[in-house]
Chains A and B, each alone.
Chain A
């Protein structure tokens, strides 16, 4: 029960931060203050809140779980590639979006697209695509909160109650504190993440009697492949470098880029981003791999056994049986199991709060959706001019309540795996939308029709992959099921982990086709007026 009490204290602290931010902003009923903290975040808060916004439950729970089953490849696959691509996109795109926001008052990406490409309803189509891809995050955040509280309290706090508490806390500090509250909470949470990795590594390392013997024992065992990348193909590994392109296309990340007081604040974020990723992911991945050597935790033994049965007998099983074994071998809770076994109770509670911090990263998505709705729909279709800015902020707050209630209701009814899959698709979807930003900021010749083609293609591709994966069951670990191979060339395959197109993850063709569509369709259609182009690229105004 002690860990659960510590977690509740943490939730109270988070709530207080949000309300404190509300008190600081009291009297200011301006949209820019509520949704963007008056574009006034300092360097420390900007770095940690932007980083924290991007770190979901997956950073701690999912990374160690993925490493438990797949080995060290997890770090290169998801962390180090992000450490290169994400700061690079913040450097190239985030700074430009910040400058345009300062100059022209944009508060959402769609506002910028509408102005840049002189479009109205096409902007609404982009808004819908972004919103649909973002909602699963909010649902999974509430589910993660319920599951974590249930696990930490040893079942004393039921899932529905834990989920309700997390939803309530997140909703409250976003409702009251807006962007300022969310940024402060994210900063607090990121500091917790960073401490979490180091402390967990030391405590578990000491508990296991040092990592040297564990690593060498794995090296000498049949599990030695976990210390290599044998289980993943180089094509798949390469494909994954496209996924971090999604980060800058996520509306909540781009909106966060608008909150910096000065552009200089991007400098520290860009430089330290790879180090922050290293500090959080490396311990989690390493611990996930080392968990395979633990012999005195029955739950971990059961997962290894499920994995073994799936690998050796999976081919002869029904798809449902394979799915069941996959679920049993899933390692998302290995880090919690290690902490339960090796950390003292009070420390397990503190570390549980760190995990809670990761799970509760849905705050920025809720706020971003509210900002997008009030700016891209409510204000754009005349609500702001008719009812005023104070009503716009109140509408944003009501939207926060409604979206949280909706997410909670869905979280209670739907199986978690559906939304985990939806998030996988969302990453690919936002990566495929990233050419919109590049074209808007760097290519004079891009047009609204090119933007529409990219958005429709992304929606189609995400739905197509989702349908394919639900119709064709995942094969057992081993070779993929080839679905289409004209002339002996394997074009489309169903792999144990998803889908492959020419051996690559779907995100690769999705991004490439997006780029081609933007180029071809833009070249065939009329460009915005010279005055608009001059706003973005300089040159004489007509």
Chain B
């Protein structure tokens, strides 16, 4: 379930990148940052948060274990 939610989160963020709703707006956030640029900046922060979620809840730790097992097998056969 956790993994499905993360896959959905990745898909949603990918779709959110196509922000056609701000396509033609030249509104300035804080009086100087164009809204389209501000949105995409915030998108990058959201991407970092998503990466944190992936690292926290879907880290492929089995790969590390496999490497450790292979290493200890090699050490014991030497």
Check B72 for interface membership: any CB of A closer than 8 A. no
B63 touches A96 (CB 8 A): yes
Interface string of A244-276 (1 = CB under 8 A from B): 000000000000000000111001001111110
A219 to B48, CA, bound (A): 31
The distance in angstroms between the C-alpha atoms of A262 and B34, with both chains bound, is: 41
In the complex, per-residue mask of B7-26: 1 if CB is within 8 Å of any chain A CB, else 0: 00010011001111011111
Chain B 30-45 against A: per-residue CB contact (8 Å), 1 yes, 0 no? Answer: 0111101100110111
| Interface pair B18/A234, CB less than 8 Å apart | yes
- In contact, B40 and A271 (Cβ under 8 angstroms): no
A229 and B36 form a contact (CB under 8 A): yes
What is the CA–CA distance of A309 and B61 in the complex, to the nearest angstrom?
Answer: 58
Residues 268-287 of A contacting B (Cβ, < 8 Å): 270-275, 277-278, 282, 285-286
Closest chain B residue to A538, Cβ basis = B66
Interface residues of A in 70-107 (CB under 8 A from B): 72-73, 75-76, 79-81, 83-84, 87-88, 91, 95-96, 98-99, 102-103
* Interchain Cβ contacts within 8 Å, total number: 133
User: Which B residues are CB-close (under 8 A) to A285?
Assistant: 37
Asked if A76 and B10 make an inter-chain contact with CB atoms under 8 angstroms apart, the answer reads: no
* Cβ contacts under 8 Å, A403 to chain B: none
- Give Cα distance in the complex from A425 to B43, angstroms: 27
Report how far A22 CA is from B36 CA in the complex, Å.
Answer: 47
Contact in complex: B24, A230 (CB < 8 Å): yes
With known contacts A215-B31, A270-B51, A277–B44 Cβ distance under 8 A: yes
In the complex, the answer to whether A96 meets B60 with C-beta atoms within 8 Å is yes
Neighbour of B47 across the interface among A83, A263, A267, CB < 8 A: A83
Q: Which of B24, B36, B37, B55 contacts A270 (CB 8 A)?
A: B55
A99 touches B59 (CB 8 A): no
Q: Are B26 and A103 in contact (CB under 8 A)?
A: no
**In the bound complex, do residue A88 and residue B10 qualify as a contact, i.e. CB atoms below 8 Å apart?**
yes
Minimum C-beta distance from A279 to chain B (A): 9
Distance between B10 CB and nearest chain A CB, rounded to angstroms: 7
Which applies to chain B's interface (DSSP): helix, strand, loop or mixed? helix
Query: Does A211 sit within 8 A of B, measured CB to CB?
Result: yes
Which residue of chain B has the shortest Cβ distance to A67 in the bound complex? B37
A241 to chain B: which residues have CB within 8 Å? 14, 17
Would you call A482 an interface residue if the criterion is a C-beta within 8 Å of the partner chain's C-beta atoms?
A: no
Question: In the complex the two chains form, is A75's CB within 8 Å of B37's CB?
Answer: yes
Q: Is A321 an interface residue (CB 8 A)?
A: no
Closest A residue by C-beta to B37: A72
Pick from B19, B28, B41, B59: contact of A282, CB below 8 A: B41
User: How close is A206's CB to chain B, nearest CB, in angstroms?
Assistant: 14
Given contacts A76-B43, A87-B47, 13 further A-B pairs with CB under 8 A are A83-B48, A84-B13, A88-B54, A91-B51, A103-B70, A228-B36, A230-B24, A234-B18, A237-B18, A238-B18, A241-B17, A267-B59, A272-B48
Task: Please list the residues of chain A having a beta carbon within 8 angstroms of any beta carbon in chain B.
Answer: 72-73, 75-76, 79-81, 83-84, 87-88, 91, 95-96, 98-99, 102-103, 211-212, 214-216, 219, 224-225, 227-230, 234, 237-238, 241, 262-264, 267, 270-275, 277-278, 282, 285-286, 289
Top 5 A-B pairs, shortest CB-CB distance: A99-B63, A227-B26, A227-B34, A274-B47, A278-B44
CB within 8 Å of A: which residues of B?
10, 13-14, 17-20, 22-26, 28, 31-34, 36-37, 40-41, 43-45, 47-48, 50-52, 54-55, 59-60, 63-64, 66-67, 70-71
24 A–B contacts, CB within 8 A, in A order: A72-B34, A73-B36, A76-B19, A76-B43, A83-B43, A83-B44, A88-B54, A91-B51, A99-B63, A99-B66, A102-B67, A102-B71, A212-B31, A215-B31, A215-B34, A228-B23, A228-B36, A230-B24, A234-B23, A262-B64, A274-B44, A274-B48, A275-B48, A278-B41
